[in-house]
Amino acid sequence: GQFTRDGSDGYISLWAVGQRRMLSFHEIDRAHYLPPSNRNGITVDKKEMRALWQTIASGDYQSSGSKSAQIRSPSIRYLHKSLANVLYPRHRTGNVNANELAMIDVALTGIL
């Protein structure tokens, strides 16, 4: 079959900041990688998370009360929904928890 430039067998295409972006499955895999010794998930720099939230959403970030509806970009909102429903399955996916925001941060590094 055909492969992307980095050898991946596929990609996801989305619009971000007025430009078409393509994330290969290898890039997505790197964004989701947690080393075996990391028992508690991704290390979250709280200042960086607050700054990211200010960039992508309205209001202040609070892990217990920040809603995905506050995310301004539909493509980033969709990314959150996929994280909340597939990678970290929960019954209610309306809130953006710290692990999900950290994953969004990793995925958007270099794009924003």
pTM above 0.75, yes or no: no
Phi, psi of 15 (to 5 degrees): -100, 130
Phi, psi of 52 (to 5 degrees): -60, -45
How far CA 99 is from CA of 8, 40, 48, in Å, comes to 25, 9, 13
Mean pLDDT of the chain: 79
How is the chain split into domains, by residue range? 11-108
pLDDT in tens, 37-46: 445 556 667 8
**76 alpha-carbon distance from chain centroid:** 7
For residues 106 and 28, give the distance between their C-alpha atoms in angstroms, rounded to a whole number.
9
